[in-house]
Every structure is written in C-alpha cells, then in structure tokens.
Structure 1
Amino acid sequence: MRLTALFIETSLNQRGHLFGWVPVFLGLGIGAYFALPVEPVALDFAVIAVIAAAALASIRPLGAVLGPVAVAVVLTCAGFGLTAARSHAVAAPILGFRYYGPIEGRIVEIDRSSSDAIRLTLDQVRLDRMSPERTPARVRVSLHGDQGWINPVPGLRVMTTGHLSPPNGPVEPGDFDFRRMAWFSGLGGVGYTRNPVLALAPASEGRAGLAVDRMRTVLSRALQERVDGDAGGYAAAVMTGDRSGLSQEANDNMRASNLYHLVSISGMHMGMLAAFVFAVVRTGVALIPPLALRFSAKKIAALVALPAAAFYLALAGRDVPTERAFVMVAVMLVAVLLDRQALTLRSVAIAALIVLGFRPESLTNPGFQMSFAAVVALIFAFSRMPHPSGDRPLWKRASLPVLMLLFSSLVAGTATAPYAAAHFNRIAHYGLIANLLAVPPMGSLVMPGGVILAVLGPIGLEQPALWMIDYGSRWILFVADQVASTDGAMSAVPKPPDAVLPLMTLGLLFIVLWQGWSRLAGLVPVAVALWLWIGAERPALLIADSGALVGLMTAEGRVLSKARGDSFAAENWLENDGVMISQERASSIAGLDREGRVTRLALGGVQVVQVSGKTALAALGGCGGADVLISNVAVEQDLPCDVYDMIRLRDTGALSASVQDGALRITTVRDASGARLWHGASDSPGVLGWLFGDILAPEAPETQ
C-alpha cells in the first residue's frame, strides 16, 4: 500500500509538467520505425491502429494517474505511423546502375563536397535513354576540372556529361547509411563530372518558387566579393546559410575547435539577430516621447523582430537548428505581444513537435540531436541557478557576462559532446577557450553588422557594417585556426553500439523532465550507455564493397591492405576505430601478408585472400589456398571457397567479420541494414512476419 501511495503521489506531481514528454514519445515511435530491420506492411499498421485506438479510448477511464500512460502509447503509435507515411510520401526513383552520359537538370542547391569541390543538386532531371518514370527526381554532381565559366544560381537549368551511381551504402555493417538520408532528400543519384557545365535556360524564366534561394546566392556572392577569402565565406554562411564559400580547411578548423556551431545557423544566430532588432527598435521608440507614451515599445519591437526572424529563417534554408531556433524566438515574441511569460521548456517542446511533424527523419540527424541537447541543457542549468540580487558590487556586475558566457559554453559543450563523439568520433578539448574568444565578437560585430548592412546597404552606407563583419569573421577564423593547430586539440573515440545514444538521451531527458528526486533514476540508463560504449568491440576484419580493400585489427591497430584507393572507406574505418592516423600510416602496420596485388591473412583459423585485378586473379590459380576469397573483379568460375567478388559485393555491400565461438562470422551491410524502402526492398515480411514467421508460416514437412 505504501508503494502504491508513493506511486500515485509521484504521478500526480507530474501534472502541469507533462507537455515536455509529448515530443519524447513521438520521437520514440519515430525511432522504433527506423530501428526495424524490415519494412512494416498493411497488417502491421492495422495492429498499431488498433493499439492506438484502444489506448485513446482508455485515457479517461484510467484517470489522472494512468491516463498519461495511455497518451504516451497513442503518441508513440502516432510517431511510428507519421514516419511510415512520410517514408512512402517521399518515394522517388533511385538509379539502379552506374551511368555515364548527358546530365540535364535545374539547380536547386549549391554546396561543397568533402574534397572541396563545388557540388550542384539538380531536379527536373533528364538522362540519356532513360524514361521519366525511372529517372531520379534529384541528382547531385560534384564539379571537377576547369569550371571557370561557372556562376551557378538556384533555378538555372544546366547540362553536362558525367558519371552517376546510386547513393552509396554504409562503409561497414551498422555504420551511417547515406541511402536513408538520400531517400528523404529525394536524391536518386550522386556523381561527378570533369567536363564543363553549360547553361541551358536562365534562372529568371518560370523560377518564382526559387526566388529566396536565388536571393541567398546573390547575397552570399555579394558578401564574398566585398570580404576576401574564408572570412567572406564564413560571413556568407552565417548571414545566408550558404556554406559553399568556406574552404574545407576552415571547416575542419571550426570543427576541431568546437566552433562549428557558429557556422551552422542555430539558436545563437537567431537569438542574436532577434535580440539586436528588438533592442534597436525598442530604443528607437523610447527616444520618441509621443510614440513611447501612447504605445508599448516592447510590443512594437516584437512586431518588427518577428518578421525579421522569419525572413532570416527563409534565407538560411530551414535547417533543423534554424527551425528550432525560430519557433522558440517566435514563441517568446508572441508571449511579449500577449503579455504572457513563455515557458522555455514548452517552447522547446513546441519546436520539436513542429520539426518532427514536418520531417520526422530529422530525429536521426546530428544537427537535430545536438541543437536540442544544447538548448535543453542550457534551460535546465539556468533554471537551477539562483537569481542574482540587484545590489551587487560593480565588479560583480562587470564580470557577470563573462561568467555567463563561460557557464553557457561549458553546459552546451558538455551536452553536445556525446552526440558529437558518437557521430563524428571526435572530442574537441579546447572548445571552451575557443568559444570564450569567438562568441563575443560574433554577437557584437558579425551579427549586428549583418543587420546594419541589410538596413543601410541599399542606400550606400555599407562600409561600417562590412568592417564589422570582416574583422569579426577574421578573428573567429583566427581563433579556430590557432586552437585547431594546438597539440592535443582533438582526440578520437570509437563508434558506440546502436543502443548507446537512445539510452543516454532517454536517461538525460528523464532527469530534465521528471519532477522530484526520483529523476535521479535517469542516471541508470546513462551509466548503462557509458558502460556499453566503453566495452564496445570493433570488427576484427572489414572488407570494402569494392573488394579492393581489407582492414585487419591487430594489437597495434587496424592494418589496411593498401595505402591509397578506397579512401572514403579507409578514413571512416579508422575514425570508427577511434584513431587519428592516415590510410598510409595504417597500411604500414604489420599483420598482413602482401605479395603484389594479393593480400593474405588468417582469422580464427580461416584463411582469407584478397586479390585485385584480373591478372592477379588468374595467376592465383583457383582459391589460392583461401577459405574466403575477396576479389574486386568478377570471378567467373565455380570455386571450392566462399567467394565475394565484385558482383556479389554489389549485392551484399561491405562486410565485417569477427571470430565467435571459434568460428568466423561474416556480416554484410545488406543483412545489417534490413529490407527497407531506401534499400530498394520490394518484398518485406512485415514486422509480424519477422517476429513470428516460424509460427505464422511453419515449414512444410519433408516428402519422400
């Protein structure tokens, strides 16, 4: 009875604080959909609908204590169904083969690849000898070679001759799946060209839907013309959301110094802009006594700041952090207009609901996770701080902004560190110092300079604003460069198991959202997540989907079979291992028997041979003593060993192998990824078939 009374009392104490859980349970449903190894079918959705209906009907009978549990079930089912509907709604053709030939389309996005090449995303695609129903809705082409003519703007129709292929799968089983991201982006092919890109039709003809995108490009180039080098690229990134002008070196420095959040438009940018506009307008109204006496200065300021923030959202391209920041700023400004006090955690929950409602796939996006982790942690931390008294000494008042910046940087950096480490396998050690040096000029020079430039630029008074933007941007890049070049600025961590981030997130959310001392129970899943991460083991052997690269884990680290080629897979393998060495260095580690283009290794008593090229394969003479043969060309004869050649690897994807119970177990990307829409799976057994297949469809008895 005592435990029952305690449970009832604890449950009732949550009343008035339950709204923050709404996006959490919606997110649980979204996460459950993505975690499935098979695509749900009609029977699965019927069962989920029945569960949701039963839970909905039981909310009132269960009362105030258990009713919220039924609401949680409804929200979880809604998240699952919403994500499934979105997955089917964005379905578009995916290129099924490697294509070389004419590529024609309309530019809808311009960015920069990891190799620092300009990259164009095209829609309204036309490919040679391909019917419209098989042609991808969008393709992305990296521009190599001499493109001196190019002046791309969204809406411009272009053509070139280049290579396209389907979106790549994970570089190892269980790793990031680019195919899923491409599916929700409508991206059906990726590739490159070394030929000139030619303009076919001007962007002004029938391109009204891309007017804001063209404005972004025009403003970005205007800034880069007036502010030289990476400083101009950085200014364009934070003002317009166009990051194509920022070099890869500058991007790497910003990440290594934990300053990349200053490049990605987020709450800080939106808050700085809205606060500056609000303060300027409110001060201006106060300086006009007749106006100030008749109208509320703060309401006029809110009315001006709200459309300014909305324009910034449209200009910045509606990234997840920008959308979250705008919703929170909008809630705050509307609260000012209505003479209400905005509840900050509720505004975060509203922002999460809006983002997940429109794009549920955002839940798996690192930007979504890090953005919301930072803002929730800041709200929770500042809500626990005592309010400073008004009669403080001058030195305390003067030091308060510095202390607040130090505290907020520490809280936000700590909150986002697990997500950055899990997704990017890196931890920046001097991020606190870098933020203390870079954030003040961001708020006092760069963002105010952008607002002043927007107001005074059209009348020719742009120079003071350009000076603010130029010097502020150069200082931030200088700080990033100095911190990134410091010894020990970054360290690497291994890739965590899949359960780590969900467990850690749910535990931390429980600590923040639950009321009472029992919130400390959230430390248990956090501790379990850390234990799983610390004890994570990497695969003993990795094999690239090209068949040309293998990587064996040794006591000295992973040794790679070659120093060049398949660099994307090699770099990701080493990052996931939690090491910061080059492919060339990894290839010099002892552990592989290499003879020309043949690599031999033994794992768990199993002999593995990797061979590159037709000549080397022919000279091998069958399996060459291998139990498992890996080849980057087609093996056309039947061999007594297990063969993974170019043809088979195209179907299975990359491989990982580990020794379990004395035997070699090989896992393929296809097995780990499952039968999902973005993998081209056309026949799925459904969730119930996957769970109860043996019961629902028992094997037929053998016949004589």
Structure 2
Amino acid sequence: MRPALPDAFAFQRFLYFESVGGEGTVYGPWSIESSATHDGWIDGFMAYVEVVRRHVADRVAAAIPDREDATTTAALIMGEQSAIPEDLQEAYRVSGLAHLLSISGVHMSLLAAVVFFLVRRGLALVPPVALRIDTKKAAAWAAIAMTTIYLLISGLSVPAVRSYLMIGVVLIAVLLDRTAISMRSIGWAALVLMAIYPDAVVGASFEMSFMAVLALIAVAEHVSLRVTWRSPEGDLLILRAVGVILAGAVVTDIAAGGSTALFAIYHFNRFPTYSMASNLVADPITGMWIMPWGLAAMLAMPFGLDQIPLKLMGYGVGLVNDVARAVAKWPGAQVHVPPMSAAALAVAAFGLMLLCLWRGRFRWAGLALIMGGMAQPWFVAPPDILVDEEAKVVAITDGRGHLALRPGPGDRFIRDVWQERYGRSPLTWPEPGQTALDLRCDADGCILQRHGKRVLLAFFDAALAEDCASTDATVSLSAAHAFCDGPTVADRIDLRRRGAVALWLRPDGVRFRFVADGMGNRQWAPMPKSPQWAGSRDGASSPGDLSDNEKTTDAVGGDAAALPDVPAH
C-alpha cells in the first residue's frame, strides 16, 4: 500500500521492515486447519508467553467490570489497544495522553524506578544484608529482571523494546558504577537501538522518546545543583519540599511536552493544546497509583491474589480515562497544523539539540531555529488538487485549511488522511452547472482556474474531447494518453504506476508531484518504469516521464527557474 499522498506515511517501508511481503482481504469465514508447530525452544517459549498474556487479559477482565477501564488496563499491562473504544482512544489523543496507552518509556521507567526503590529500601532494612552486598546493584539487577518480564508480557512491540534498551543502558551504567542518567547514556541507548532497528529513526516513537529524554536530562543538569528542599542547616522543609515537587512536575511536563510537540506536529498534523494540564493530573496518578498496583498485581497473580490490586489499578485507570474525556471536550483542545516539510523538521530538531547539548550562551540560538522550523507550515501553500492512485478520490483545497472532496466511491481511509493533513473543515463540492472555489463543473468533469492557469479534471471521456486542448494541464480518471492532445496529461494509468498526485497552480506554471517522485528507488518501492504513450503533443508523454523542470517548462510553457519548489508534506 503506497502513501495516500506525496510525502505522507510510507506503508510500504513500514511493512518491508516488518517482513510483510503482501496484504489482502478475506471475505469468507476462516477456520483453523491445524495447530502451529514450534521449532526449537525459542518458538516454544514465545508460545508459552502468549498463553500467559491471554491469561493476564482474562484476569484483568474478571477483576474490572467496566469495559473501558478493563481494556485500558490491559493496554497498560500488555500493550493491547485494539479493544479500547475508538472514542476513548481519540480522547487520549486530543488531550495529549496518548503516550500512556502504548507501553513505552513512561511505563518502563516507572516500573524500573518502583522496583529499584522498593528493593534497595527493603534490603537496607536488613542490616546483615545491607552490610554485605551492594544494595544499589542488587536493586539494579531486580529492576532489569522485572522490566524483562514486563517486556515479554507487553508483546515485544518496537516501542517497548526501545524503552527496554534505554532503561537497560541506564541500569547497566549503575552496575558499572557510572553515572546512570547522562547524555552519554542516552547516546549509547540510541546507538544500540539504531543498530537493531535502523528503520525506527524516522518513526515518531523513536524521535519523540529520545528527544523527551534528552530535554529532561538537559533540564535536570541545569537546575539540579540550584534547587534544594533543605534549609542551609540541612533540615527538611515540608512546604519547600512540596513546592519543589510541584515546580519539578511543571518544569518536567513543559520540557517533555515542548520537545515532543515538534514531532507531533510533523507526524500527526495536530497539537493538543491542553497537554500540559492533562499530564499534570494524569502522570502522578499513573506513576504513584496505577503502576505500583500493576506491579503488585503481576507479583500476586501466580498465587491467585491479583484481584484486589487489579481493582485498585482499575480505579486509577478510570480516573485517567475521565481526565482524558474531560480535557478533550474543552474548547480548542486540539489545533490542526498544516503539513511540515522534512527540512523544517531538521532545522527545528537541530535547534532543539543545540539548546539541550550546548553549554554556553550560544545554546539559546536554538530557540530561533525551533521557532523558524515550527512556523514553516503556515508559510507553504497546500496543493490545489489531490487525486488518489485509484482515480476514485478527488479533492481541491482553498489554501486556508479547507478541503472539498468529490462525492462518490473511494477509500474512506484516503479521505480521512487528506482531511487530517489539508482541511479539518470540509467544503461542499459544486454540483454540475455550478461554480464554487474557482471550480466549474458539469456532468463529465470540472475545470479549476487559479492564478491564470486552467486544469481539467476529466471524469469521463467526453470531458477530454471537449476541454483537453484548451487547458494548461489535465488529470483524467480514465486512460487518456491515446487520444488527449493536451499539453500535460496525467491519467489513471499514470496514477496506478506512480501513485497519488498533487498539483499546484501558479502564475508561472502547473506543478505535478506524484507519490513515486519522493520515494526514490528503494527495496520497498522500486522506481516505476516509464512506458511510451501515443498521442501526446510534441512527443512529451506524461508528467511521470518528465523531470520536475520539464513538467513545468516544456509542458506548460512557464519558467522553471521561477516556479517555487512547493513541498507537498
């Protein structure tokens, strides 16, 4: 499955690195022909782990009667989100709490911290043990063991493995008597993960997690020596301690939320406005109530004593669910952001790293880079026309965050992706005989006229015969090259060969950009071959056979040097 539009999420790449060679749809009922055989102890062990996971899911469902609370609790323990109602998942996304649903650094670090604290403090209460062993290293070994078990129960998802490696590097540093939490540790964790999962580098999970940790370490290094909750005489001050804890929570939330907002905008085209408020409430509940009771439930489950801890865990999960739903209903809880280019992301990310890693005053120059990169989406014009690769879904934009989709058949997923990226506020496609949004339509097709250029959207062959020669470019939903003598033509065959297309109309030309133009020649997306067409003017076949300059200059007659390179992301 190719991206829904140029520079969108590359499903082919994702499936390639997941070792998935194809996909299909089953319309009839399915049945199990025979049970799978387990070759070797690894397969047998993983099959046993899956049995344990199913058992845990059954125990959670039996202990927590509320379906939403039960499915969310199962997600926190096992990473299973499919059973969570879609409206609740959307509430988590809008409120900025979606990171709590997937087992990631938050859950792994909380579990490791709880185990480390309890084991170390517990051993310290036994003087003969505390005097003979290094309780700090013993606690680190216990934390490694528990996070390993948690990783297996979670289903070995990539975010969970990534978080496990990060926590593992920190705990190994403790075992080697090195500084556990440092820039060097996060660097080693990133190198190890990139060696195992090189494709994760371009994923939102990797980028957001590591940047959040980087920002938190930078803040901790900057303020840890300046903040204390003890008096000059060394006495503990309760009020000051409470103030330091609250201030730390706020600063931590600002650092983590601010550093990940950049990548949320790039990958999801949305920004949760009240993320800080929701996390200030939900994170303490998760860290001080949900995860400790979850740990207690897992330890008690082999003895059949897990029902009370699971119920108590479910109460906390229910509170977080209520927070997510309440915040999601606040006015302006989510801001739609136009697509950000990869170059703008790189500039802003460099500024963020400069701010975190540089020691001198020059680090504050990173703020200018961050603001410049994040402002870029509002200064780039969206495409005027979008057509999917099946030649079934057609849309136009008005350049102000609105999208008009042509009524008719077509993949609903494609429509949702387009609306997410280019227009949360839908517009109405003009009826035949009407003119709206610079678009004039009849029963056979439409003509979009902007900036002195005309583009024909031909739904049927009759529109090609009538208007093809009088427009600057043509997009046909049927095969058109054999008889359409227009200047630049993209038809159904081009779309199937090169993927969905976006068009920009400018005074100096019409620019085509296909999905294949931005994917290169990769193992998961080989460069499509260019067939020879008949019937094109001056022998120029299709925009897919031309370079970007040729598409503009030779076919449309404009000045390629003057045509802006408008990103489609």
TM-score in same-fold range (> 0.5):
yes
Alignment of 1:626-641 (within 5 A): 627=471, 628-635=473-480, 637-641=482-486
* Deviation for aligned residue 1:372: 0.8
Of 178, 182, 199 in structure 1, the residue corresponding to residue 15 of structure 2 is 182
Give distance in 2, aligned partners of 1:186 and 1:395.
Answer: 56
Instruction: Identify the structure with the greater strand proportion.
Output: 1
Give distance in 2, aligned partners of 1:666 and 1:335.
Answer: 53
Q: Check conservation: 1:503, 1:525, Cα contact below 8 A.
A: yes
**Alpha-carbon distance change, 295 to 320 in structure 1, aligned in 2, over 3 angstroms:** same
Tell me which amino acid in the other structure corresponds to 1:387. V
**Alpha-carbon distance change, 488 to 633 in structure 1, aligned in 2, over 3 angstroms:** same
Of 422, 431, 445 in structure 2, the residue corresponding to residue 598 of structure 1 is 445
Match of 2:90 in 1: 252
Give distance in 1, aligned partners of 2:164 and 2:394.
Answer: 46
Give distance in 2, aligned partners of 1:671 and 1:522.
Answer: 32
Matched, 1:490 2:334: yes
Q: Check conservation: 1:561, 1:592, Cα contact below 8 A.
A: no
Give distance in 2, aligned partners of 1:278 and 1:671.
Answer: 51
Alignment of 1:157-236 (within 5 A): 167=1, 169-203=2-36, 205-206=38-39, 207-208=43-44, 210-211=46-47, 212-227=49-64, 228-236=66-74
Give distance in 2, aligned partners of 1:321 and 1:512.
Answer: 23
* Deviation for aligned residue 1:221: 4.3
* Deviation for aligned residue 1:363: 0.9
Give distance in 2, aligned partners of 1:298 and 1:445.
Answer: 24
**CA displacement 1:262-295 (0-9 Å, x = unmatched):** 1122222112111222222233323434333433
* Deviation for aligned residue 1:396: 1.8
TM-score by length of 1: 0.67
Give distance in 1, aligned partners of 2:428 and 2:155.
Answer: 40
* Deviation for aligned residue 1:423: 0.9
Give distance in 1, aligned partners of 2:491 and 2:396.
Answer: 19
**CA displacement 1:133-170 (0-9 Å, x = unmatched):** xxxxxxxxxxxxxxxxxxxxxxxxxxxxxxxxxx2x22
Matched, 1:654 2:485: no
Q: Check conservation: 1:547, 1:630, Cα contact below 8 A.
A: no
**Alpha-carbon distance change, 213 to 514 in structure 1, aligned in 2, over 3 angstroms:** farther
Tell me which amino acid in the other structure corresponds to 1:377. A
Alignment of 1:106-505 (within 5 A): 167=1, 169-203=2-36, 205-206=38-39, 207-208=43-44, 210-211=46-47, 212-227=49-64, 228-385=66-223, 386-391=226-231, 392-505=236-349
- Local SS of the residue matching 1:384: helix
**Alpha-carbon distance change, 636 to 498 in structure 1, aligned in 2, over 3 angstroms:** closer
Q: How many residues align?
A: 512
Tell me which amino acid in the other structure corresponds to 2:326. Q
Give distance in 1, aligned partners of 2:380 and 2:291.
Answer: 43
**Alpha-carbon distance change, 527 to 314 in structure 1, aligned in 2, over 3 angstroms:** same
Greater alpha carbon shift after TM alignment, 651-660 vs 372-381: 651-660
Q: Check conservation: 1:604, 1:664, Cα contact below 8 A.
A: no
Give distance in 2, aligned partners of 1:585 and 1:217.
Answer: 48
Give distance in 2, aligned partners of 1:315 and 1:531.
Answer: 42
Unaligned runs of 5+ in 2: 531-569
**CA displacement 1:226-269 (0-9 Å, x = unmatched):** 33412222111111122222222221111100001111222221
* Deviation for aligned residue 1:327: 3.1
**Alpha-carbon distance change, 397 to 434 in structure 1, aligned in 2, over 3 angstroms:** same
Give distance in 2, aligned partners of 1:428 and 1:231.
Answer: 23
- Local SS of the residue matching 1:569: helix
Match of 1:119 in 2: none
* Deviation for aligned residue 1:479: 0.7
* Deviation for aligned residue 1:332: 3.4
- Local SS of the residue matching 1:348: helix
Match of 2:562 in 1: none
Of 562, 565, 574 in structure 1, the residue corresponding to residue 410 of structure 2 is 565
**CA displacement 1:522-553 (0-9 Å, x = unmatched):** 44543542453342221122222222232223
**Alpha-carbon distance change, 555 to 455 in structure 1, aligned in 2, over 3 angstroms:** closer
Q: Check conservation: 2:297, 2:310, Cα contact below 8 A.
A: yes
Of 542, 549, 554 in structure 1, the residue corresponding to residue 393 of structure 2 is 549
- Local SS of the residue matching 2:424: coil
Tell me which amino acid in the other structure corresponds to 1:655. V
- Local SS of the residue matching 1:667: strand
Give distance in 2, aligned partners of 1:655 and 1:529.
Answer: 26
Unaligned runs of 5+ in 1: 1-166, 685-704
* Deviation for aligned residue 1:401: 2.8
Match of 2:561 in 1: none
Q: Check conservation: 2:520, 2:526, Cα contact below 8 A.
A: no
Alignment of 1:613-692 (within 5 A): 617=460, 620=463, 622-625=465-468, 627=471, 628-635=473-480, 637-641=482-486, 642-681=488-527
Give distance in 2, aligned partners of 1:380 and 1:411.
Answer: 9
Tell me which amino acid in the other structure corresponds to 1:460. G
Alignment of 1:512-591 (within 5 A): 512-523=356-367, 525-554=369-398, 557-562=402-407, 565-577=410-422, 579-582=423-426, 590-591=437-438
* Deviation for aligned residue 1:434: 0.8
Give distance in 2, aligned partners of 1:356 and 1:397.
Answer: 40
Give distance in 1, aligned partners of 2:492 and 2:199.
Answer: 32
**Alpha-carbon distance change, 504 to 587 in structure 1, aligned in 2, over 3 angstroms:** farther
- Local SS of the residue matching 2:382: coil
Give distance in 1, aligned partners of 2:144 and 2:444.
Answer: 64
Give distance in 1, aligned partners of 2:362 and 2:451.
Answer: 48
* Deviation for aligned residue 1:494: 0.4
Q: Check conservation: 2:444, 2:463, Cα contact below 8 A.
A: no
**Alpha-carbon distance change, 498 to 275 in structure 1, aligned in 2, over 3 angstroms:** closer
Q: Check conservation: 1:449, 1:466, Cα contact below 8 A.
A: yes
- Local SS of the residue matching 2:425: coil
**Alpha-carbon distance change, 507 to 586 in structure 1, aligned in 2, over 3 angstroms:** farther
Q: Check conservation: 1:560, 1:587, Cα contact below 8 A.
A: no
**Alpha-carbon distance change, 285 to 203 in structure 1, aligned in 2, over 3 angstroms:** farther
Tell me which amino acid in the other structure corresponds to 2:146. A
* Deviation for aligned residue 1:201: 2.3
Tell me which amino acid in the other structure corresponds to 1:265. I
Q: Check conservation: 1:623, 1:639, Cα contact below 8 A.
A: no
* Deviation for aligned residue 1:504: 1.3
- Local SS of the residue matching 1:452: helix
Tell me which amino acid in the other structure corresponds to 1:226. A
Give distance in 2, aligned partners of 1:241 and 1:555.
Answer: 39
* Deviation for aligned residue 1:375: 0.7
Tell me which amino acid in the other structure corresponds to 2:310. L
Match of 2:559 in 1: none
Q: Check conservation: 2:216, 2:256, Cα contact below 8 A.
A: yes
* Deviation for aligned residue 1:480: 0.5
Tell me which amino acid in the other structure corresponds to 2:44. A
TM-score by length of 2: 0.82
Tell me which amino acid in the other structure corresponds to 2:525. H
Tell me which amino acid in the other structure corresponds to 1:291. V
Give distance in 1, aligned partners of 2:286 and 2:367.
Answer: 36
Aligned sequence identity (%): 31
Greater alpha carbon shift after TM alignment, 298-307 vs 617-626: 617-626
